[in-house]
Amino acid sequence: MLRQALEDYNLDGRIIEPGNITVSELGDLWFADEVEHSALTTAGRNDYRNVLRQIKDHPLGDTKLRNVTCEQLQAYVDEKYFGEFDENGKQLKHAYSESHMRKQFHVLEHMFKYAVYPKRIMRENIMQYIKRRKKPKAVSLFDDVDVRVQTITQKEYEQITDMLAHHESDSYLLLPVQIAYHTGMRAGEVCGLTWQDIDLNNLCLTVRRSMYYDVETRCWELKVPKSNKPRVIDFGESLSGILRAARKAQLEDALRNGPFYQKHYFQVREINGRQHYQIFTDPGDGVPENISRSTKGKFLGQHDPELELNSVQFVCCKPLGELLTTQTLKWCNKLVQKELPDIKHFHFHALRHTYASTLVTNGANFKDVQELMGHSDIRITLNTYSHVTQHSRKKAVAIFESALAR
């Protein structure tokens, strides 16, 4: 220890000393300096806060940095990975999901990296020695083989669209389902799609934004897509006809209802150093401003009068122009599962999987599929949609048989 201290001192004139700071206090410092004013969404910051809260509630949180060992960190991670058991093997705490454990690792790795630099209170990032254990997967030796992602067939899609078209009170759900099926767009991207994003002459649309609910501001907002960049999606005459008819019907509805038709605006507000594209609704003459709305959106009047209001026309909306959100599309899932019991596996995201799987099955290039789906890395596309269908398996066997016959 003396030799190491002398080496550090000779290197840059200082001795690295962790002092009395605890792991929990380090987490608070890291969050305040590196996360609080970053470009992360509210949901992303809340995820990190949740991880830090768990660390704080664990004995690891009260451990001083000078006393933290790799064994302690590994024990903490393993407990989260596999759960906690008593001496008889009875499970006391359940294990966390893989997605949550990725967040745990991200927070811990960046916390201790922050302690090394720029804080200079630790000599090295000891998280580099912590292993990501592989959790044993539950398998069945006799049940049917399940596919990686859930899709729907062409026949099931026709059943869903037919049901929605004839379900008068919920027929507005038909258009978002059709758009997602023909483009593979995410639910938030479908809700955030505006008419200015659609080029009916060149049969393409641009995905520029996604709609989401910010729990801190309690407002529906617009943000960049998940891939952090816009993408262009080409479509065919089928969707073109659907969009033209929807545009005509929407304009007629607005003209027919006049002052009772709801209009929407967005305003760019800076809150805690971040830009928020907040959506505000003008409810028109027919809706009182104090009405209770399941969308939890904000009405005009709650906006900042000193900032510019920009009109926005969403492609998908409810009757009388009411805002259609991702919360609305959750009702679509329940409605389909209720009205069509044979398609209980349906959920809105299955339309996206169906689009991609259809492309892959019919020979589309994986790089093209990646661009259309908006995946940041082609490995996501390969890992998600490289599952073998019956058609492609038969095709592979035919290639093998052909090779044997030579």
Look up the pTM and report it: 0.79
Q: H or E element: which one contains 233?
A: strand 231-234
Maximum Cα–Cα distance across the chain: 84
pLDDT digits (tens, 9 = 90+) for 214-263: 988 889 999 998 878 899 999 999 999 999 999 999 999 999 999 999 99
Q: Is residue 316 part of a domain?
A: yes
Range(s) of the domain holding residue 8: 2-129
- Based on the fold, state whether residues 113 and 193 are members of the same structural domain: no
In a domain, 279, yes or no: yes
My answer on whether 193 and 95 are in the same domain is no
In the listed set 270, 298, 323, which residue is the last one of a domain according to the structure? Answer: 323
Domain endpoint, select from 285, 303, 323: 323
pLDDT band at 320 (very low <50, low <70, confident <90, very high): very high
Mean local confidence (pLDDT), 185-195: 97
* Residue 393 belongs to a domain: no
- Domain-embedded: residue 381: no
- Which residue has 């992303």 as its token pair? 44
Shared-domain flag, residues 109 and 44: yes
The CATH number covering residue 89 comes to: 1.10.150.130
Taking the C-alpha atoms of residue 335 and residue 331, their distance in angstroms, rounded to an integer, is 6
Last residue of a domain, one of 289, 306, 323: 323
In a shared domain, residues 200 and 318: yes
**Same domain assignment for residues 119 and 191:** no
- 12 pLDDT above the threshold of 70: no
Q: Which is nearest to 43 in space by CA: 171, 213, 163? A: 213
* pLDDT exceeds 60 at position 291: no
CB 153 within 8 A of CB 350: no
Dump pLDDT digits (tens) for 328-368. 999 999 999 999 999 998 999 999 999 998 888 888 888 89
CA atoms within 13 A on the CB side of 139: 5
Residue 374 falls within a domain, yes or no?
A: no
Lowest mean pLDDT among 74-83, 141-150, 276-285: 141-150
Residues 193 and 124 in one domain: no
State whether 214 and 123 are in the same domain: no
Does 301 lie in the same domain as 209?
yes
Cα separation of 28 and 49, whole Å?
Answer: 9
Q: What is the pLDDT of residue 18?
A: 61
Whether residue 296 sits in one domain with residue 198: yes
Banded model confidence at residue 20, pLDDT cuts 50, 70, 90:
confident
Question: 222 and 94, same structural domain?
Answer: no
Tokens of 257: 């209802």
> Is the domain of 104 the same as that of 200?
no
CA dihedral (45, 47, 50, 55) positive or negative: negative
- Does residue 156 lie within any of the structural domains? no
Q: How does the average pLDDT of the chain come out, rounded?
A: 87
Question: pLDDT (tens digit, 9 = 90+) per residue, 38-69?
Answer: 878 888 899 999 999 999 999 999 999 989 99
Residue 135 is assigned to a structural domain of this protein: no
| pLDDT attached to residue 7 | 67
**pLDDT reading at 295 higher than 60:** no
Count of structural domains, the chain: 2
User: How is residue 271 written in tokens?
Assistant: 């809150």
Residue 132 has pLDDT above 70, yes or no: yes
Q: Is residue 298 part of a domain?
A: yes
Short-list 270, 258, 264, 269, CA closest to 310: 264
Confidence of residue 145 (pLDDT cuts 50, 70, 90): low
Same domain, 102 and 208: no
